[in-house]
Amino acid sequence: MKAHTKIYLQYFNFKIPEDCFCEVCGNYANDIHHIEARGMGGTKQKDSIENLMALCRKHHLQYGDIKDKKDYLKEIHLQFMKR
């Protein structure tokens, strides 16, 4: 299991990845997405929960690495973290 997936699971006290649901639509999450992708010139920080969100494949493709959608994803993720 990748380090960023472990961070996400531990923060929300999920036992297995199958406990994760898309923060956009609520369907099963296939991916733990980096909002600011390190490989695309984003943050230089190590993985942090503020930069990680669960997404289904549809929303990962629709919003994932699209610069104009980062603020939208950040807002959704902040609301999700407040639950």
Summarised one tens digit per residue, pLDDT across range 11-47 is: 999 999 999 999 999 999 999 999 988 765 555 667 8
Percentage of the chain beyond pLDDT 90 is 80
Q: Determine the pLDDT at residue 65.
A: 85
Residue 77, φ and ψ in degrees, nearest 5: -65, -40
Number of domains in the chain: 1
Q: Which residues of 7-27 are buried (b: 16+ CB within 10 A; e: fewer)?
A: bbbeeeeeeebeebbbbbeee
State the pLDDT at residue 60: 96
Could you say which DSSP state residue 37 is in?
A: -
Place of tokens 């929303």: 59
Domain of 7?
3-81
Task: Tell me the average pLDDT of the chain.
Answer: 91
